[in-house]
Amino acid sequence: MKKDSKILVTGSAGMIGSSLVNTLRNLGYNNLILPKKNELDLIDQPEVDNFFKNNLPEYVFHLGAIVGGIKANSSVPAKFIYDNTQMQLNVIECCKKYSVTKLLFPGSACTYPRLANQPIAESSFLTGALEPTNIAYASAKINGIVAAQSYSKQYGLKVVLPMPTNAFGIGDSFDLNNSHVIPALIKRFHDAKNNNTEILIWGSGNVLREFIYVDDLSDAFIFLMLNYNSDEIINVGSMQEISIKDLAFKIAKIVEFKGVINFDSSKPDGMPRKCLDSSKLAKLGWKSKIGLDEGLQKLNDYYMNYIQK
């Protein structure tokens, strides 16, 4: 990937997409194709085909997707599976048709079996039952991974399939109807602090999760696009775990919330533990740089300075 290569980033307005665009520009990649939603409907196959035909990108980072936490997955599962499947298949087909040099399509840690051995190795893919709370989103991602590998095998399309752990950072959604756990907790703790109320968190709080700051993730994506030449999935994580309960108390401290924190164990927890074995990526020479505490502080500062006002 040269500095003047034509690079398409779908979903460039999202959390990961905007971070990736900033990182690419900082590295000197300025020939970027960044269609907005009103400029390219990824669900519309003829429109996607026409866009590729007119722009002829050389490299594609397909980040456009419908995402959300347990609540969103439970509320609109049909949208998660239909929209994501349609978008990724349209992009993959056009990458083949218009001779894209290389496609990066990220999977998701939720595609691994619910009770996979921990930390989860890439070899665990498709070896067991999925976590029911995000099965629609996970199924769509699995379809995209298998499709990309199939196009690699049948047509020689070069694909990179990173499997990222839970990402968070600036640009994340604080909408409690579809936000992930970290931005949701930051907003809820600020609301509870401002209203002098208690806070109730879904689940027991005992499940373990791994998080990666979004700028680290975008850096890893570029590293893999440049250095990884296999259609085998590869994990991208920090390999640092924390329980949701400890995470909640950590965020409460940052927010300076001093009220009561309760956990509702009648609500679903999701997978009991989810940490990726990213040793394969580490052997290639990449590791995360931004720790959880630093990342949480960055996101909280962003919320206070730009969202809460």
pLDDT tens per residue across span 10-30: 999 999 999 999 999 999 999
Catalytic residue among 29, 59, 137, 228: 137
Q: Token digits for 98?
A: 């218009």
What is the domain extent for residue 76? 7-169+212-239+277-289
Let me know if residue 267 belongs to a domain.
Answer: no
Helix (H) or strand (E) holding 219: helix 214-227
- Average pLDDT, integer, range 121-130: 96
Task: Give the distance from CA 303 to its chain's centroid.
Answer: 20
Let me know if residue 180 belongs to a domain.
Answer: no
Is 274 or 155 the better-scoring residue by pLDDT?
Answer: 155
Let me know if residue 271 belongs to a domain.
Answer: no
Look-up of token digits 């850096």: 219
| Tens digits of residue pLDDT in 227-241 | 999 999 999 999 999
What is the Cα–Cα distance from 77 to 92, expressed in whole angstroms?
A: 23
What is the Cα–Cα distance from 125 to 174, expressed in whole angstroms?
A: 31
Let me know if residue 205 belongs to a domain.
Answer: no
Instruction: Return the percentage of the chain with pLDDT > 90, whole number.
Output: 83
Residue 270 confidence (pLDDT): 78
Mean pLDDT for all residues in the chain: 94
Let me know if residue 220 belongs to a domain.
Answer: yes
- pLDDT band at 307, cuts 50/70/90? confident
Taking residue 90's Cβ as centre, other Cβ atoms within 10 Å add up to: 23
| Tens digits of residue pLDDT in 143-196 | 999 999 999 999 999 999 999 999 999 999 898 877 789 999 999 999 999 989
- Average pLDDT, integer, range 262-278: 88
- Average pLDDT, integer, range 29-35: 97
- pLDDT band at 282, cuts 50/70/90? very high
Is the pLDDT assigned to residue 69 strictly greater than 80?
no
Residue 75 confidence (pLDDT): 83
What is the Cα–Cα distance from 120 to 106, expressed in whole angstroms?
A: 16
Is the pLDDT assigned to residue 309 strictly greater than 70?
no
Task: Give the distance from CA 222 to its chain's centroid.
Answer: 15
**Tell me, what CATH number does 228's domain have?**
3.40.50.720
Is the pLDDT assigned to residue 134 strictly greater than 80?
yes
Let me know if residue 94 belongs to a domain.
Answer: yes
94-132 as b/e, with b when 16 or more CB fall inside 10 Å?
bbeebebebbbbbbbbbbbbbebebbbbbebbeeeebbe
| Tens digits of residue pLDDT in 76-93 | 899 999 999 999 999 999
29 labelled catalytic:
no
Look-up of token digits 């949480």: 296
Let me know if residue 95 belongs to a domain.
Answer: yes
Q: Do 233 and 163 form a contact (C-beta atoms < 8 A)?
A: yes
Split into its structural domains, the chain has a count of: 1
Half-sphere exposure of 4 (CA within 13 A, CB side): 0
| Tens digits of residue pLDDT in 283-300 | 999 999 999 999 999 999
Let me know if residue 189 belongs to a domain.
Answer: no
